[in-house]
């Protein structure tokens, strides 16, 4: 089966849907999403969207906070462009129906939260379910467009480039071009050739590379792995943000306890009841996430404790229930009344600050291919993302990319797709060895947590490199000779991204931001104020 469209969007989070909504104004759009249309990291975002909306705030302060948090690796031009786009992004979301929380008694003013690394209250939120509110509003707007088609339960396998053409021989200095993707229709077990003049990767992050994560099950790094295999540059993948406070409960499924809880006065305590963050940073609980996560990790390992505790029992009970209804309800369902009980928490893989390298318009090094959101490395986050800057970056870059893609489409009026072959099953047979999938996935997640987690060492990284090299070779061979399935695609991508994370971590000979190596414990500004870039063999 073959589909042709103007725009192919891979992913249905805030970035993908925002782009699709814009692009629908000047072309046909197909959205590919792995599960149902609302399943994305965006849907799980509790905190909000950082933007300069208060009178006592300024673009300069937001830029300064972001650059400081990024530990010298943010691109100042990118940060300035995204921050200045913030108020308009918020305005456009409100126009499509997003209901951000307003101050009590002041319906004309937003109730702006304060989160780690920010010097001012600037986080627009919808109680503690901002992501869900934004996702649902965008979906309603997108579904109202007759020229947008959403393919649920479809997973992209690989990007289509000229390497797929029969008898293709690449010319010197020839730029790689993307013409869409091969996509698996899970329900019908059929591979679709989805041809597009412009493709946007908005596939989210890769939290499922680790055993402990706040991400949903779909976050397997698909876009990142596909782009690298196709020949795109990737960068800064050593900077994995571990959210300091995921709920520690056997039935909690790494449920996120938002940064905003600490922003409203939550205190981190040890099992003994002692508060400890003042030992690590003058801003205590509101220090940047890398500082807080490392502090918790160190205290737990030193004492042999399994978790720390977040205390909000000193706050007004009515305020807690009103400000954090989702967190309060989830914890209560597990037997924890957070107005009276301490919340058990541990760090968990949350956000990947690196990704597919893009320019100021969201263009990757592959022609016709754009990227936005967590899959992209735009230069916004540097070595450590500030809380609630992620949704801001995703929606801002969706707009930048859509504007650029409009011009791209105009330049392709007389374009016709080359003769792209259908998905081939030649040489494929079913080995009936599917136990390898679950086993290898579990193994990768566990050794990535142990060897490439919050605190790293050269020895552990080298051990991880040896293991992932063997595993990725095994998985690749299995992929080549077995029918393509959802689980095999995800495992191949998890293994690919794990290898890229390890390679970046080994390459950086210092500690900076989210990357901490005990063999290089200091920051080295003389040699390492630069991105860690990996180039595919196809590039």
Q: Are residue 189 and residue 273 in the same domain, yes or no?
A: no
pLDDT value for 174: 87
Residue 426 within a domain: no
Q: Are residue 149 and residue 53 in the same domain, yes or no?
A: yes
Question: 10-residue block means of pLDDT along the chain (539 residues)?
Answer: 96 95 97 73 65 96 96 98 97 94 82 88 86 90 96 96 86 90 94 98 96 89 98 97 90 80 95 96 88 91 92 96 92 96 94 97 98 98 93 97 97 91 73 74 93 95 97 91 90 97 98 96 97 86
Q: Are residue 36 and residue 149 in the same domain, yes or no?
A: yes
Residue 111 within a domain: yes
pLDDT value for 428: 64
Catalytic residue from among 122, 262, 289, 441: 289
Q: What is the dihedral of CA 172, 173, 174, 180, to 10 degrees?
A: 130
Q: Are residue 337 and residue 397 in the same domain, yes or no?
A: no
pTM of the model: 0.90
- Residue 256, Cβ density class (10 Å: 0-12 exposed, 13-18 middle, ≥19 buried): buried
Residue 427 within a domain: no
Residue 310 within a domain: yes
Q: Are residue 203 and residue 270 in the same domain, yes or no?
A: no
Please give the Cα distance from 46 to 112 (Å, whole number). 14
Please give the Cα distance from 46 to 500 (Å, whole number). 29
Please give the Cα distance from 341 to 331 (Å, whole number). 10
Q: Closest Cα to residue 2, out of 199, 164, 191, 226?
A: 191
Give the C-alpha distances (Å, rounded to integers) separating 210 from 105, 352, 413. Answer: 44, 12, 44
289 as an active site residue: the answer is yes
CB count, 10 Å around CB of 330?
A: 20
Return the CA Rg of the chain.
22
Tokens of 63: 């830029």
Partner residues linked to 534 by β-bridges:
234
Residue 429 within a domain: no
Give kind and range of the element (H or E) at residue 505: helix 486-507
Please give the Cα distance from 266 to 268 (Å, whole number). 7
Please give the Cα distance from 58 to 396 (Å, whole number). 18
Residue 417 within a domain: no
Contact indicator for 27, 8 with CB cutoff of 8 Å: no
Q: Which of 301, 319, 349 is the last residue of a domain?
A: 349
Residue 537 within a domain: no
**Domain total in the chain:** 3
Positions of E strands within 76-209: 102-103, 106-110, 123-124, 148-151, 154-161, 178-185, 190-201
Q: Are residue 344 and residue 472 in the same domain, yes or no?
A: no
CATH (domain of 282)? 3.90.700.10
Residue with tokens 């500082």: 291
Residue with tokens 């210092």: 510
Residue 172 within a domain: yes
- Domain hosting 440: range is 435-530
Q: Are residue 344 and residue 357 in the same domain, yes or no?
A: no
pLDDT value for 301: 84
Q: Which of 332, 349, 366 is the last residue of a domain?
A: 349
Q: Are residue 163 and residue 266 in the same domain, yes or no?
A: no
pLDDT value for 320: 95
Tokens of 513: 């931001």
Q: Which ranges in 281-388 belong to alpha helices (H)?
A: 289-303, 317-323, 325-333
Q: Which of 361, 394, 410 is the last residue of a domain?
A: 410
Q: Are residue 267 and residue 331 in the same domain, yes or no?
A: yes
CATH (domain of 458)? 1.20.58.100
Q: Are residue 118 and residue 149 in the same domain, yes or no?
A: yes
Give the C-alpha distances (Å, rounded to integers) separating 65 from 17, 59, 277. Answer: 28, 10, 20
CATH (domain of 133)? 3.50.50.60
Q: Are residue 304 and residue 327 in the same domain, yes or no?
A: yes
Q: Are residue 64 and residue 200 in the same domain, yes or no?
A: yes
**141 DSSP assignment:** H
Q: Closest Cα to residue 514, out of 244, 254, 262, 211?
A: 244
């Amino acid at each position: 089966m073959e589909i042709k469209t103007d725009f192919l969007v891979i992913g249905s989070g805030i970035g993908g849907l925002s782009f699709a909504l814009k692009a629908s104004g000047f072309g046909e759009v197909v959205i590919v999403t792995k599960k149902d249309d609302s399943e994305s990291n965006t849907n799980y975002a509790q905190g909000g969207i950082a933007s300069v909306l208060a009178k006592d705030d300024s673009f300069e302060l937001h830029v300064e906070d972001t650059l400081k948090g990024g530990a010298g690796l943010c691109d100042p031009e990118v940060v300035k462009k995204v921050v200045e786009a913030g108020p308009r992004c918020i305005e456009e979301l409100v126009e499509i129906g997003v209901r951000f929380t307003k101050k009590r008694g002041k319906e004309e003013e937003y109730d702006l939260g304060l989160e780690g690394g920010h010097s001012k209250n600037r986080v627009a939120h919808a109680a503690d379910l901002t992501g869900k509110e934004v996702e649902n509003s965008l979906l309603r707007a997108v579904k109202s467009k007759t020229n947008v088609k959403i393919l649920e339960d479809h997973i992209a396998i690989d990007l289509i480039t000229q390497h797929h053409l029969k008898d293709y021989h690449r010319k010197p200095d020839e730029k790689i071009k993307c013409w869409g993707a091969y996509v698996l229709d899970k329900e019908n077990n059929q591979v679709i050739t989805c041809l597009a003049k412009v493709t946007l990767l908005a596939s989210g992050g890769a939290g499922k590379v680790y055993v402990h994560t706040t991400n949903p099950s779909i976050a397997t790094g698909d876009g990142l792995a596909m782009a690298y295999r196709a020949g795109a540059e990737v960068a800064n993948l050593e900077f994995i943000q571990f959210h300091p406070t995921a709920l520690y409960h056997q039935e909690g499924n790494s449920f996120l306890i938002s940064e905003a809880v600490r922003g409203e006065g939550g205190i981190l305590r040890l099992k003994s009841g002692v508060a400890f963050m003042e030992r690590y940073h003058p801003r205590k609980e509101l220090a940047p996430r890398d500082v807080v996560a490392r502090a918790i990790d160190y205290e737990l390992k030193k004492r042999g404790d399994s978790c720390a505790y977040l205390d909000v029992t000193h706050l007004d009970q009515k305020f807690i229930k009103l400000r954090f209804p989702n967190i309060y309800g989830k914890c209560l369902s597990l037997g924890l009344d957070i107005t009276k009980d301490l919340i058990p928490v541990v760090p968990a893989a949350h956000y990947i600050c690196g990704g597919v390298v893009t320019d100021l318009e969201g263009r990757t090094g592959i022609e016709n291919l754009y990227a936005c959101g967590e899959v992209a490395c735009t230069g916004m986050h540097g070595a450590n993302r500030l809380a609630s800057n992620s949704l801001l970056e995703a929606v801002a870059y969706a707009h930048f990319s859509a504007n650029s893609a409009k011009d791209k489409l105009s330049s392709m009026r007389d374009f016709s797709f080359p003769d792209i072959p259908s998905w081939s099953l030649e040489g494929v047979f079913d080995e009936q060895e599917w136990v390898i999938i679950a086993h290898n996935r579990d193994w990768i997640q566990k050794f990535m947590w142990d060897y490439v987690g919050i605190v790293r060492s050269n020895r552990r990284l080298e051990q991880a490199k040896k293991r992932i090299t063997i595993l990725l070779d095994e998985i690749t061979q299995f992929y080549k000779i077995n029918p393509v399935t959802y689980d095999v695609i995800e495992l191949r991508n998890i293994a690919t991204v794990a290898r890229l994370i390890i390679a970046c971590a080994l390459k950086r000979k210092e500690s900076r931001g989210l990357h901490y190596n005990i063999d290089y414990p200091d920051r080295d500004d003389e040699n390492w104020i630069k991105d860690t870039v990996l180039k595919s063999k196809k590039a």
